[in-house]
Amino acid sequence: MPSRTAQIRFVSSHPEVYEPCDDSFALVDALLADRTNLLEHRPTLCMEIGCGSGYIITSLALILGQEANGAYYMATDINPHAVKVTRETLDAHGVDAELITTDIASGLARRLAGLVDVIVVNPPYVPTPEEEVGRGGIASAWAGGENGRSVIDKILPIADILLSDKGWLYMVTLTANSPSDICRQMRQKGYASRIVLQRSTEEESLHIVKFWRDFDTQGAASDIYSVKKTGHANLVESLLSQCSQLSFWRHNNGNSS
Amino acid sequence: RENEQRARKRKMRLLTHNMLSSNIKGVANGFPLRIEVEKVVEKQVDFNADFLKNMFAKIEWKALVDASRSMGYSELPGDANPAMLDSDDFLQKFHHALLELHLEEGALVCPETGRKFPVNKGIPNMLLHEDEV
């Protein structure tokens, strides 16, 4: 009997690949909470950027169903180990997605422009020194540069190209990424947004944001949101001191599920 | 024509090939990539007419025809138009070419530079070298 989401015991792993963690679970919980809307939406092409272990794309495929339901899944990762692990995770759950080893959507964006109905992203959002971004290997799973925004800011314009008129984007962010600033920038591209799920730990808060094209309100946003830089210095220090280990988020991860 | 039944593992389908283009710097038109086949597998995939009708407008037809021929399937008409979507025979052939021909091993070749993007275990690797970015 198929499970509602991917199950940890069937998720494959590799030392160079990010294991599912609080942020992965939060994104999948957000998708589950939006399940009825997603099913009514009847997406055709669904895509994950940065599939890691495959936990999220597998869960999405379980939630929405496969070809019989008219959906086609694609997932990319810059880390070839992650792509291989994702294949194993998909197989273990009896679901399927097309996998491509590439940087974000390089090689795909030209043809997929305006065609993707659902994009899910759990990006490398951890604030790190810029040099750590794009180093490859497992660090590519979390290294986000200044304010953790380097890769997010690369992904967003590409997502804008890929998304269809009815396209939805779900993305994991930290408070440190200034989600309100992200939403403001996306508003200028014509997107409405909503934080669909929030989860806090002692150190930080995860915000799962959903974006969709909002054709009623176009044009530049007013300065409702101002980017505040107070208080982040201590936060970044605290995050950086914990960054060296994958266990950044795993303070209580017995990983039973 | 027989479908090989194997483990559930699926490989790169022609729908994906139809969405891939060469991302090398300086390439003016990197689509479509030519397919070099080392291993093709045919896999049975559930038929959904709505999905096919939906995808039809998004597919570059000639690229699909050429790709399917390189995978050993020659049943697709050289040209297609939306009226043909009313024909079940056409839909079955479209379905087979788009979703059931899987490239397991081989390469996708840039039409301008000849650079090969490897496909291993059904996964295309589009990562560029430093001088190609």
In A, which residues are within 8 Å of B19 by CB distance? 74, 108, 111-112, 115
Looking at this predicted complex, what is its ipTM?
Answer: 0.92
Hey, is A165 helix, strand or coil?
A: strand
pLDDT at A180 (0 to 100) = 96
**Which one of B8, B31, B48 has the shortest CB-CB distance to A94?**
B8
Separation CA B17–CA B35 (nearest Å): 9
Min Cα–Cα distance to chain A from B59, Å: 9
Please say whether the beta carbons of B103 and B12 come within 8 A: yes
Residue B96 with chain A: CB contacts under 8 Å: none
Residue A240: the pLDDT is 43
Residues of A in contact with B12 (CB under 8 A): 98
Per the domain annotation, does A3 fall within a domain?
no
Q: Is A1 part of any domain?
A: no
> In sequence order, what E strands does A7-55 have?
45-49
Which positions in chain A touch B46 (Cβ < 8 Å)? 66-68
Query: A79-112 burial string, b = 16+ CB within 10 Å, else e?
Result: bbbbbbbbbbbbbbbebbbbbbbbbbbbbbbbbb
CB contact under 8 A, B46 and A66: yes
Which of B23, B31, B54 is nearest residue A44 as measured by Cβ atoms? B54
CATH number for the domain including A120?
A: 3.40.50.150
Tens of pLDDT along chain A (257 residues)? 567 999 999 999 999 999 999 999 999 999 999 999 999 999 999 999 999 999 999 999 999 988 778 899 999 999 999 999 999 999 999 999 999 999 999 999 999 999 999 999 999 999 999 999 987 788 889 999 999 999 999 999 999 999 999 999 999 999 999 999 999 999 999 999 999 999 997 778 999 999 999 987 544 433 333 233 334 444 444 444 444 333 444 333 333 33
In a domain, A102, yes or no: yes
| Interchain pair B15, A98: CB under 8 A | yes
- Predicted confidence at residue B9, as pLDDT, reads 63
* Burial (CB count <10 Å: 0-12, 13-18, 19+), residue B4: exposed
Chain A residues with CB under 8 Å of B7 CB are 91
Q: Test B19 with A111 for CB contact under 8 angstroms.
A: yes
- For residue A175, give its domain range: 8-255
- pTM for the full model? 0.86
Average pLDDT, chain B: 91
Contact B121 A98 (CB under 8 A): no
The tally of domains found in chain A comes to 1
The pLDDT of residue B102 is above 70: yes
CA distance B16 to B5: 22
Nearest Cα neighbor of A178 from A191, A159, A202, A195 is A195
* Nearest chain B alpha carbon to A136: B127
CB contact under 8 A, A107 and B46: no
Asked if A37 reaches chain B (Cβ–Cβ under 8 Å), the answer is: no
Residue B7: pLDDT band (50, 70, 90) is very low
Domain membership flag for residue A189:
yes
Gap between the Cα atoms of A111 and A194, Å rounded: 29
Query: Which residues of chain A have a CB within 8 Å of the CB of B15?
Result: 72, 98
Rg value, chain B, Cα? 15
Of B26 and A246, more confident: B26
Q: Is residue A167 part of a domain?
A: yes
Q: What pLDDT band is residue B11 in, cutting at 50, 70 and 90?
A: confident
Look-up of token digits 């998708």: A31
